[in-house]
Structure 1
């Protein structure tokens, strides 16, 4: 009897322990988000090649689900967990709206009670403000047939007292505007007011261009978004332009919803000028079901058209001093999603490193100059393409040594695509096999029966695998050639992390102190470096990730403001200790 009792208790304990472990397992994701992005709907934008495109995302938590709207998708996505997304097909723009092929461009969303509202960008006064109490289905009706606030890049906000406001603007000449609207009639109350305007003479990051040099144009201010936190109003904006790696989001803070506003000391608060996919501008800040803040923004591709873009999101929050920040460090490597209330100043990074950066690759065929190594160079702008989309085209990557594999991200490129706009019912199919010796292979990820569109497919393995070689074989493409901008393998190598970086130097311009030149001694065994910077030693909230270089020209500083810097090295085995913080006047 005692033996039976002990056996029962042991079994019960194991069951409880297993159940607890299963409940606490955290989901992971990887940017760019794996969404079934539509293709540009415009023939003129596709002159250099048809391609997927979206941008300007909003994210809203409503009735237990997350709703993601973005530019020209002919619908929207929803998810219960921020990982698995379901697309709802819908055309919001009505026939009498003269938008020439546009759908919802840079949409705005707002929750009022039990209702979700959405509207797109227009300077006209004939757009419909839509409403739904169950947006998991296509159950929308007009809240206002002719919305009288002509607003491009709108952002809507409901205050605690029930009053509703709209913010808007997209220009390198005009400011962002704000205006109150009636909660019941949605008619404007009073005239629009100027809120904020770019000040690129002071803020280096607001200068237009890849290198913040204002070549060709001056910077744009766009993409309004408002959050309220501890009685303060945080008016956010995108700048300086969607084409550049420094596309980010800034914020002004005020005591009233229509200002006046003051430039936050830490800016841009959302910034990602390095890594595989760059850019973190024109987005939205929201709280998940646990109360944790996140920031979603636009990521830049900009190859076949300057509006070729993707979407990513990152942990965000407000520090003890009320500073809004976004944590984009290793922001296109696998990260954990929240499973409870957490501190986003602490990293959600899994620690899984990229195992095949610039490692040897072999392929079945190559189309022209789209050579194989472009799929492992950590640049979404470059890609390898096979000659065909035929079943059996393949790519093999050599990790250099047997490593522990945790996850894989496949980033497809658009080579000779034929679609315009949204295409439903299309899908990718492939098989990834692994090998220790390059001779004996076994299936690792089998999606030969997949029926979904997965242009940035991210797969976390249920059980970590040991392998040196991985091979992806194509079985079906939705359109175009079999082409990859990133065959990215994550996990841990068998070696040691690099030593700490030595001799970090920051040379700041005297006549032009918005600009600086960072240099450091190369670290043996490092494949890249992450530079941290900020406006205080304990507020190094921004970062720049670079590969295979030992210098960086940073032109995004605020004039006359001291900055603090720190750097770490990384490779496939891990990350070094950070250097001491240095101050630059």
Structure 2
């Protein structure tokens, strides 16, 4: 066993370990042991990743399924997740799985281009699954994989469908009838059909095309960074639609879809709404329903919508990491709900800062925010060693694609932050990066070990969190102290990480400071000649760490948020380009400033009318 350097007697006397305790708070990215994937297309580089999350509440436990995990996770509280390795697992690295519970049994299927199994389990926490059916029937009218290309791009004969079902979604209605939804393409739509789940399972209806993207009218459906319309070099790309998921609320059906592509910060979820599970569906003009283009966690697309055991609504999504290659991702959850007239919404306001876990029904999802801010943002950082240009300052910039790399991946390496003064520290999140890693897919001993130390003077160090005996891999480890501490210095002390190198994308220290919240900033908004765009000009205020630009379809429905830090906005000339609007829809905009001392009151909402 690797050992840590000894601490002083005084430090041991005042140790405050974050011991095994009932979870109180959590932070995105979700803290699970994301599994290493080996992608032949990326020259043999391993990296941890998670994507396309499905969370289902089954027999009062939560189950999380994702892409390429060779298993799944279970939790009793949505915070502490335990990995389950199934005893029978015919899925060779399932992608974008579908799951549904009928209350007694949990059903699971994988994405496929040809008929594949449907599994069932009454108690999936045990890892035991049975065959519901070994081979699902083929999708009526679907061509076989490989045959599709012979017709040219988007040129399938009338009445024929692409291979599938890829990116499936299972839905069991209140009357017990089953529906299957699927599709992942920048050519084809989302499809749906009713199925009879009684073995051998059959399609009750022919597949129906339910919806397509319309990026010419829906700004958020445009591909690329901040919906630029294509790649950074200007190459245009048609946006992708995928991630079908059905939610029923108030007698109406909300068919969720992800767009415009997982590779950039603008990945989001939208919905079409209908009175029938197979439509016709109408586009919701308040889309997207889950959106997070700014901050450390970027992206909210392709996930699921579920209720927790208290009836609170959540939406899951796929944030973008994109260091090793463009499909390197994580998992996020955002709370939300429905307005009295049925508008679906989820909040990403402070969506990558610590949140309280509900212990009962929550009337206002935004009330789950703890009020803890990143005290670590661009503070002075020093390290025991550094490799090349991967300097310590890159571990405090709130950017997931920059990182510090130690010269050696060895116990005792340290990364120390000077918070610039005494601050009240509540929690720390260690976000590792996989830099030039080898292939780890078959290793059984992948684990993450470290300690977090704190000090008032940089001399006498005490323990805030001790994971030196951990057997888990925690690439986005979040630890809350048993009690908050008043500290000026925070130190990461390394124990073990599976990657070839010790690399930390961000050591995020969350807490508060004394003082007064920033003043309310003012803003001006100009709708572009292209109605999908708006320019938001913010008047800077002193002592602001950053701003939340908020907008929505009514003054009391500012459900969309773009978080931007003070210095980043200054580099943009104190203006933010919002390119996620729907043509023909009126909007209201407001802005608030925040700092570790608090959040300002929001500015008075400004109406931005659409041209008629």
TM-score computed with the length of structure 1 as normaliser: 0.92
Give the 5 Å matches for 1:57-96. Answer: 57-90=53-86, 94=90
- Pairwise CA distance, 1:363: 0.6
- Aligned-partner Cα distance in 2 for 1:230–1:560: 27
- Pairwise CA distance, 1:46: 5.0
Unaligned runs of 5+ in 1: 1-24
- Pairwise CA distance, 1:466: 0.7
Q: Which of 233-242 and 514-523 deviates more?
A: 514-523
Residues 149-194 of structure 1: CA distance to partner in whole angstroms, max 9, x if unpaired? 4310000100111110000000111110000100313211131001
- Aligned-partner Cα distance in 1 for 2:365–2:74: 27
Q: 1:514: which partner in 2? A: 532
Give the 5 Å matches for 1:28-427. Answer: 28-47=25-44, 49-90=45-86, 94=90, 103-125=93-115, 127-148=116-137, 149=139, 150-185=164-199, 186-215=201-230, 216-421=236-441, 423-427=443-447
- Aligned-partner Cα distance in 2 for 1:421–1:43: 13
Q: Which of 276-285 and 343-352 deviates more?
A: 343-352
- Pairwise CA distance, 1:448: 1.7
Distance 1:423 1:233, change over 3 A: farther
- Pairwise CA distance, 1:242: 0.2
* Matched-pair contact (CA < 8 Å) for 2:88–2:128: no
Residues 387-415 of structure 1: CA distance to partner in whole angstroms, max 9, x if unpaired? 11111111000111101111111111112
Counterpart check, 1:532 vs 2:532: no
- Aligned-partner Cα distance in 2 for 1:336–1:518: 31
SS in structure 1 at match of 2:525: strand
- Pairwise CA distance, 1:562: 1.3
- Pairwise CA distance, 1:26: 7.4
- Aligned-partner Cα distance in 1 for 2:34–2:356: 23
* Matched-pair contact (CA < 8 Å) for 1:402–1:494: no
- Aligned-partner Cα distance in 1 for 2:594–2:401: 22
- Pairwise CA distance, 1:559: 0.9
- Pairwise CA distance, 1:213: 2.7
- Pairwise CA distance, 1:380: 1.1
* Matched-pair contact (CA < 8 Å) for 1:363–1:396: yes
- Aligned-partner Cα distance in 1 for 2:120–2:482: 40
Pairwise CA RMSD: 1.5
* Matched-pair contact (CA < 8 Å) for 1:77–1:85: yes
Q: 2:598: which partner in 1? A: 574
- Pairwise CA distance, 1:343: 1.4
Residues 220-259 of structure 1: CA distance to partner in whole angstroms, max 9, x if unpaired? 1100000111100000000000011110000011000000
* Matched-pair contact (CA < 8 Å) for 1:287–1:294: yes
SS in structure 1 at match of 2:394: helix
Distance 1:344 1:494, change over 3 A: closer
- Pairwise CA distance, 1:63: 0.5
- Pairwise CA distance, 1:472: 0.9
- Aligned-partner Cα distance in 1 for 2:342–2:357: 23
- Pairwise CA distance, 1:417: 2.0
* Matched-pair contact (CA < 8 Å) for 2:56–2:99: yes
- Pairwise CA distance, 1:346: 4.0
- Aligned-partner Cα distance in 2 for 1:109–1:344: 28
Unaligned runs of 5+ in 2: 1-21, 140-163, 231-235
- Aligned counterpart in structure 1 of residue 504 of structure 2, from 481, 484, 488: 484
Q: 1:12: which partner in 2? A: none
- Pairwise CA distance, 1:306: 0.9
Q: Which of 533-542 and 519-528 deviates more?
A: 519-528
Q: 2:152: which partner in 1? A: none
- Aligned-partner Cα distance in 2 for 1:173–1:197: 9
- Aligned-partner Cα distance in 2 for 1:347–1:546: 21
* Matched-pair contact (CA < 8 Å) for 1:354–1:488: yes
- Aligned-partner Cα distance in 2 for 1:291–1:88: 26
- Pairwise CA distance, 1:382: 1.2
Give the 5 Å matches for 1:12-23. Answer: none
- Aligned-partner Cα distance in 2 for 1:163–1:361: 58
Query: How many residues are matched?
Result: 551
Residues 416-437 of structure 1: CA distance to partner in whole angstroms, max 9, x if unpaired? 3223436443211112211111
SS in structure 2 at match of 1:369: coil
- Aligned-partner Cα distance in 1 for 2:340–2:444: 46
* Matched-pair contact (CA < 8 Å) for 1:26–1:338: no
Residues 103-145 of structure 1: CA distance to partner in whole angstroms, max 9, x if unpaired? 11000001124110101101112x1111111100121111111
Distance 1:335 1:111, change over 3 A: same
Residues 248-285 of structure 1: CA distance to partner in whole angstroms, max 9, x if unpaired? 00001100000011111211000000111100000100
Counterpart check, 1:437 vs 2:457: yes
SS in structure 2 at match of 1:34: coil
- Pairwise CA distance, 1:42: 2.0
Q: 1:561: which partner in 2? A: 585
